[in-house]
Amino acid sequence: MKLKEHVKSLLPQWRNEWRTLVKEHGDKKVSEVNVKAFFSGMRGVKIVPCDTSEVPPDKGMTVRGHMLKDIVARGTTPEELFYLMVTGEWPDKEGVADIKQQFKDRAQIPQYVWDVIDAMPDDAHPMNMFSMGILALERESVFRKRYDEGMKKEDYWDATLEDGMNLLAKLPGIAAYVYRKRFNKGPRIEPDPNEDWAGNYVHMMGIGGKEVDTFKDLMRLYLVLHSDHEGGNVSAHTTATVNSALSDLYYSVSAGMDGLAGPLHGLANQECLKWILGVVEKFNGVPSEKDLEKYAWDTLNSGKVIPGYGHAVLRVVDPRYEQFLKWGKEHIKGDPVFDTVARVFDVVPNVLRQVKKISDPWPNVDAGSGALLYHFGLREFPYYTVLFGVSRSMGVVSQAIEARAKGYPIIRPKSIPTSKLKEIIGL
Ligand code: CMX
């Protein structure tokens, strides 16, 4: 079944379920907020619904109940994953063919977007250029046009789905151009109608060579693994909050990407590779465990974080890291950068475990991905968060389609001054 038909068939259930829950169980508690959580960025407080994916601290990311290792083992493509995230079911042949075709048909990008990117300074950060490209496209919003014409609330999902498909179809083109423009790789490359979403992204970046098919496989994996991580992380929560004001998906996704650009979130992958390359350079190759242990302590003692390690929610090795490591071990031999990533995994958790305040000593998604990209010649690491952004857009778009289909209200939690908090706890 085609994606839009499938979502349409789910509407009655989606619209009724949460309203019935509110009507019949509105007073029951889901979560409590203690003072620690209040001052810790709402850590652990269950505050918003998200059905596309969940991150149990002891398991890591699951998509609509499917474990990541099973999703990867069945060779899931980004297009299939997007369908699964939106609808909760795997697409049939018609569903996959439809998404692939839609992504091709909607891939053309208006000239003014190239002009906006071209007008930016040569040293603008790639995430700035990427977010700016998305924001420039807002002029194309179907949601905004229909809203201005008086669209009914029950049709918001349809306009959001249209915007989501248009935006996702165009993202590889924008992201690839950011790469070529920012790193002087030559003129823009047109999409190839014979390529899938990930393959076209690689094609438009202009990365070739004899390993290009393996790199396209890596890109499919990369786009699957970074796609979603429930609803509370910075990029997802920001996108959802902005979208809940009925700002269309161009505004919302651009805002989400601005959050992804932070070093504690998506930018960690660039920071992580920088750290690994520093290790390789200092030790002239893969370091011994003893040298690495000292290097890790030096980083911590200088007041810096070890990028790629730790997580706000997870308390196990991130399964996304595990999948990257597994893929790397299967496809890459004798690469000092990748081998250092593997060695860091043997050493750093033991170091971080000794720092009392650190809740999670294990690698997250960012710990290994950069070394794989580096191996295939994608060495401009300030660019890495853009790849993350293309993938994460699938998740935040899926969440927005569902939120508008269900008719969730504007997100508006309450804040209070510290003086009021003190009053509440009796001080
Ligand atoms: N290296 C050094 N210190 C670390 C650390 C690490 N890898 N992970 C956590 N800590 C520190 C925190 O900075 C914090 O210190 P302060 O209290 O002095 O501020 C303390 O340990 C407690 O943090 P926490 O409860 O374990 O973790 P948080 O939920 O506050 O933060 C995260 C989570 C990811 C921001 C943090 O682990 C971190 O900075 N990691 C390195 C950066 C990184 O890899 N980010 C990518 C995360 C994945 C993503 O979202 O994309």
Q: What is the CATH number of the domain that holds 303?
A: 1.10.230.10
Dihedral of alpha carbons 180, 182, 174, 230, sign: positive
Residue-wise pLDDT tens digits, 8-29: 999 999 999 999 999 999 999 9
Task: Please list, residue by residue across 298-314, b when 16 or more beta carbons sit within 10 angstroms of its beta carbon and e when fewer do.
Answer: ebbeeeebbbbbbbbbb
Protein residue with least CA distance to atom 32, ligand 1: 311
Which residues, in sequence order, are bridge partners of residue 177? none
Please indicate, yes or no, if residue 99 is contained in any of the structural domains: no
Q: Is the CB of 344 under 6 A from ligand 1?
A: no
Of 177-181, 267-271, 417-421, the one with minimum mean pLDDT is 267-271
Residue 112 included in any domain: no
**Whole-number Cα distances in Å, 105 to 35, 101, 155, 193:** 51, 6, 23, 9
Residue 152 lies in a domain: no
Which residue in the block uniquely carries the two structure tokens 């952004």?
A: 389
Strand runs labelled E in 174-325? none
The answer to whether residue 169 is domain-embedded is: no
% residues pLDDT > 70 (the chain): 100
Query: Which residues, in sequence order, are bridge partners of residue 54?
Result: 62
How many Å separate Cα 125 from the centre of its chain? 18
Average pLDDT score over the chain? 96
Residue 360 lies in a domain: yes
Catalytic, out of 311, 339, 360, 375: 311
3-state helix, strand, coil in the chain (%, to 5): 60, 0, 35
Residue 208 pLDDT grade (very low, low, confident, very high; cuts 50, 70, 90): confident
What pLDDT does 125 receive? Answer: 97
Q: If you compute the radius of gyration of the chain from its CA atoms, what whole number of angstroms results?
A: 22
The answer to whether 340 touches 280, Cβ cutoff 8 Å, is yes
> Does the pLDDT at position 268 exceed 90?
no
The domain total for the chain is: 1
The pLDDT tens digits of the residues spanning 272-325 come to 999 999 999 999 999 999 999 999 999 999 999 999 999 989 999 999 999 999
Residue 356 lies in a domain: yes
232 burial via Cβ count (<10 Å: 0-12, 13-18, 19+): buried
The pLDDT, as a whole number, for residue 188 is 97
Q: What is the pLDDT of residue 383?
A: 96
- Whether 310 is in the pocket of ligand 1, judged by its Cβ within 6 Å, is yes
Residue 366 CB less than 6 A away from ligand 1: yes
Domain that holds residue 303: 268-375
What one-character DSSP code corresponds to residue 77?
-
Assess if residue 239 is contained within a domain: no
**249 pocket-lining for ligand 1 (C-beta < 6 Å):** no
Instruction: Establish whether 360 is a catalytic residue.
Output: no
Mutating to test ligand 1, I would choose from 55, 309, 392 the residue with most ligand atoms within 8 A of its C-beta, which is 309
pLDDT score at 137: 98
- Residue 307 domain flag: yes
pLDDT band, residue 209 (cuts 50/70/90)? confident
How far apart CA 123 and CA 285 sit, in angstroms, is 30
Q: Return the bridge partners of 219, or none.
A: none
What is the amino acid identity at position 30?
V
Q: Is 308 a pocket residue for ligand 1 (Cβ < 6 Å)? A: yes
pLDDT in tens, 328-374: 999 999 999 999 999 999 999 999 999 999 999 999 999 999 999 99
Ligand 1: distance of its center to the CA of 300 in Å? 12
pTM strictly above 0.85: yes
User: What mean pLDDT is predicted for residues 201-214?
Assistant: 94
Task: Over range 225-234, report the average pLDDT.
Answer: 97
